[in-house]
Structure 1
Amino acid sequence: MKSMLIISRQAPWSGPGAREALDIALAGGAFDLPLGLLFLDDGVFQLVAQQQPTALQQKDLTANLQALSLFGVESLYASARSLQERGLDSAALNLTVDVLDDSALTTLINRYDQVLTL
């Protein structure tokens, strides 16, 4: 079975990309596909606690994020550079992720058979 890395690059309020990435991860997890989820660029904003998406007429992604482990999606990663550039502290995130530097990100991406970027 081929492994897949889903790279989520969109903020939760910038369009459907963030929700679509989570939906794909949850569906893949339900079918026991070996997959990982990487939060990169503005995608790291999905990990911020206490968001108020209804103010922007968006749906809250918190429940979807929390469901990832229930669906067997436990390989979660975030870019250290993306967090730093956006002033986010990895200790304050609402999900436990492995924070990786650029070198480790390259190794991670090369480890998967397929890579899907949203």
Structure 2
Amino acid sequence: MSAPSVLLVTRHAPYGASLARSALDAALAAAAFDRPPTLLFLGDGVLQLLPGQDASGIGTRSHRRVLDSLPLYGIDTLYVDSQALAGHDLTAADLPPGARPVDDAAIRALLAGHDHILGF
């Protein structure tokens, strides 16, 4: 019997609330128990993937270091809403390695193809 699949959906910008960081922490926790989840970034969540983030001005650490460490935990692909990218005037070139823009049909397939979905 295979382990249940988990999709983590993050919709929030990286700073200002703890939800974005909670999604990353949940991903690391799942991976630590040999259950690497799938991550899907929707809406303002795509802003978490931008390079050059400096959160020192608001007294917190950048999420970028955590994102860069995800492949070490078996999380190699990040799915990114292509409409949200366009809405923020971003392209795939603005994303880290392993980030894959997906359209609405692919998002629906991701949602339908997992046993558990956690939204952040």
- Asked if TM exceeds 0.5, the reply is yes
Q: Which of 77, 86, 110 matches 2:79? A: 77
Match of 2:56 in 1: 54
Mark the runs of 5 or more structure 1 residues left unpaired by the alignment: none
Please show how residues 90-105 of structure 1 align to structure 2 within 5 Å: 90-105=92-107
**SS of the residue 1:50 aligns to:** coil
**SS of the residue 1:46 aligns to:** helix
In the TM superposition, what whole-angstrom CA distance separates every residue of 1:14-57 from its partner, at most 9, and x where no partner exists?
31011100000011111111420011111100110001211233
**SS of the residue 1:14 aligns to:** coil
Task: Say whether the 8 Å CA contact 1:65–1:95 is kept in structure 2.
Answer: no
Question: What is the total number of aligned residue pairs between the two structures?
Answer: 118
Task: Say whether the 8 Å CA contact 1:68–1:74 is kept in structure 2.
Answer: yes
Match of 2:66 in 1: 64
- Measure, in 1, the Cα distance between the counterparts of 2:45 and 2:59: 18
Q: How many angstroms does 1:75 deviate by? A: 3.5
> What's the TM-score, normalizing by structure 1?
0.93
Task: Say whether the 8 Å CA contact 2:36–2:74 is kept in structure 1.
Answer: no
Q: Identity of counterpart residues, as a percentage?
A: 36
Q: Which of 31, 34, 55 matches 2:33? A: 31
Name which of structure 1's ranges 50-59 and 62-71 shifts more when overlaid on structure 2. 50-59
Which consecutive segments of 4 or more residues in structure 1 shift more than 4 A? none
Name which of structure 1's ranges 49-58 and 14-23 shifts more when overlaid on structure 2. 49-58
**SS of the residue 2:53 aligns to:** coil
Task: Say whether the 8 Å CA contact 2:6–2:37 is kept in structure 1.
Answer: yes
**SS of the residue 1:64 aligns to:** helix
Mark the runs of 5 or more structure 2 residues left unpaired by the alignment: none
Match of 1:2 in 2: 4
